[in-house]
């Protein structure tokens, strides 16, 4: 059997009977102070243990050649029509994609950026093979020249008024002119305005009647609008649009289109002109009611320097650079995957400053005010982006928490000799940032905790002993019992 007396001899914590101990006020005070110090140091150590520590390293981006970069954006253009707004992408490798529509949505907006209807759907846009009659023959003007003074009178006088908004300097307008005048003459002969009065063709020179063209939101030339009893508005999918003609531009096609418009209208009753009962084969599609457009969606691009360009584009129209205003408001412009609120919270826990540059342009506006010095202005944004990866190590395994792109942005207004555009030039960095969480050892936390408690307890005991002996010595001196 084990000898208990020998076992007791190795006891580190031998007990002294309570009757042999003496309590003092100084000891009680030191004990209270020591307890508060222990609690304070315990809180500090616990806070240090709970604090997240990370390491940051910069390495070469390991992206592969077939890896694409997603760009999400939401841009509002108060003065650019959805009818001609085009999203184009190009890069230094020669990629050039024009008028991307598959992943893009457009909404007509007013000057205050308020959406005026449902999503804008241009519908089927035919490939125009005939842009006009090629002839040297001069035709007398068959169409009526319209101005701000007589436009309203003509539009209300005739059930159907088809207007060619043109510019003399425009190539496509000049190609259309012979066939338009010839078609107008034929329609005038078939439907004499003085006798029949159901239809008339007109024209507006937008270089002279700039205010009239601006009032009807004309941005591309030539634009052929259809007015029914004074209005070119047509209700489509719950909101109003301008009724426009986008068919072939040779004489025969124009005459056939006009015949289709006139067919449902009876001579004795012009009231039917308010209804669109024309043949559905007529090549028409709505033009947006308001002059602004909100463009949202995403595109995928290669991870090389490139451009995302918003501009006015058409294969069969020309644009006056002085009349194009690409002022815009940025609601969103980000690279890479979208961050969920939960993911963003976790990222902020690890890296408080992470994510601030993920959507740096959001909330910024770039407005070009009307004025002679503010025409032909292109807005350019130069974006330098870097890839950031965050790794989490809460256990023995390492887990990728996030892959995001942050960027810096520099913007400028540039006077251009071409049609103004909104250009976003992006340049990915060849380097990437790795942020890794540094895990803390629980055993190290316990060791520090024991050191704090034991150290404070020991120091308090030493101080108590010194204080107790000092008080006893002072009392002996006062009583004259010192040696």
Q: Known catalytic residues?
A: 170
DSSP type of residue 339: P
How far is 404 from 427, CA to CA, in rounded Å? 15
Instruction: Check: CB of residue 104 under 8 Å from CB of residue 88.
Output: no
Q: Where are the alpha helices (DSSP H) in 248-403?
A: 251-262, 341-350
Provide φ and ψ at 331, rounded to 5°. -90, -30
Nearest-5° Cα angle at 308, 127 to 166: 40
DSSP type of residue 341: H
How far is 9 from 203, CA to CA, in rounded Å? 118
Q: What is the number of alpha carbons within 13 Å of residue 331 lying toward its C-beta?
A: 10
Whether a cis peptide bond, with omega within 30° of 0, leads into 222 is yes
How far is 283 from 364, CA to CA, in rounded Å? 40
Both tokens of 333, joined, read: 């412009």
Both tokens of 264, joined, read: 């449902």
DSSP type of residue 322: G
| CA 447 from centre of chain | 51
Instruction: Check: CB of residue 137 under 8 Å from CB of residue 185.
Output: no
Query: In 3D, which of 256, 262, 228 has the Cα closest to residue 244?
Result: 228
Task: Kindly write down the DSSP assignment for every residue of 107-161, as one continuous string.
Answer: EEE-TTS-EEEEE------------S----------SEE--TTTHHHHHHHSSEE
């Amino acid at each position: 059997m084990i000898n208990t007396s020998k076992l007791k001899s190795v006891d580190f914590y031998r007990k002294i009977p309570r009757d042999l101990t003496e309590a003092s006020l100084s000891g009680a005070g030191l004990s209270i102070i020591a307890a508060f110090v222990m609690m304070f140091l315990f809180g500090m150590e616990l806070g240090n243990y709970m604090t997240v520590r990370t390491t940051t390293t910069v390495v070469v981006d390991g992206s592969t050649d077939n890896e694409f970069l997603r760009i999400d954006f939401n841009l509002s253009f108060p003065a650019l029509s959805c009818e001609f707004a085009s999203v184009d992408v190009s890069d230094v490798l020669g990629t050039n994609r024009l008028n991307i529509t598959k992943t893009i949505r457009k909404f007509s907006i007013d000057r205050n950026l308020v959406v005026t209807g449902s999503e804008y759907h241009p519908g089927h846009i035919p490939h125009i093979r005939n842009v006009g009659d090629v002839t040297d023959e001069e035709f007398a003007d068959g169409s009526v020249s319209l101005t701000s003074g007589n436009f309203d009178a003509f539009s209300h006088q005739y059930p159907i008024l088809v207007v060619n908004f043109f510019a003399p300097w425009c190539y496509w307008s000049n190609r259309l002119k012979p066939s338009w005048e010839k078609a107008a003459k034929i329609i005038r002969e078939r439907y004499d305005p003085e006798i029949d009065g159901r239809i008339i063709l007109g024209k507006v020179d937008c270089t002279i009647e700039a205010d009239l063209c601006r009032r009807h939101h004309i941005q591309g030339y030539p634009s052929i609008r259809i007015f029914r009893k004074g209005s070119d508005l047509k209700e489509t999918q719950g909101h109003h649009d301008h009724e426009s003609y986008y068919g072939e531009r040779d004489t025969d096609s124009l005459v056939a289109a006009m015949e289709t418009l006139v067919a449902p209208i009876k001579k004795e009753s012009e009231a039917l002109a308010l209804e669109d009962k024309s043949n559905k084969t007529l090549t028409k599609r709505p033009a947006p009611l308001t002059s602004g457009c909100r463009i949202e969606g995403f595109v995928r691009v290669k991870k090389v320097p490139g451009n995302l360009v918003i501009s006015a584009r058409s294969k069969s129209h020309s644009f006056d650079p002085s009349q194009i205003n690409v002022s815009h408001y940025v609601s969103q412009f980000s690279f890479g995957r979208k961050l969920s609120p939960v993911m963003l919270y976790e990222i902020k826990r690890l890296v408080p400053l992470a994510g601030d540059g993920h959507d740096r342009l959001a909330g910024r506006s770039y407005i070009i005010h009307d004025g002679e010095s503010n025409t032909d202005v292109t807005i350019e944004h130069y974006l330098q982006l870097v890839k950031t990866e965050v790794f989490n190590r809460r256990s023995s395994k390492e887990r990728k928490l996030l892959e995001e792109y942050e960027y810096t942005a520099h913007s400028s207004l540039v006077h251009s000799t071409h049609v103004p555009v909104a250009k976003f030039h992006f340049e990915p960095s060849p380097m990437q940032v790795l942020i890794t969480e540094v895990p803390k050892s629980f055993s190290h936390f316990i060791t520090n905790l024991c050191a704090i408690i034991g150290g404070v307890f020991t120091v308090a005991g030493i101080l108590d002993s010194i204080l107790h002996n000092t008080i006893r010595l002072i009392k002996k001196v006062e009583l004259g019992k010192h040696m």
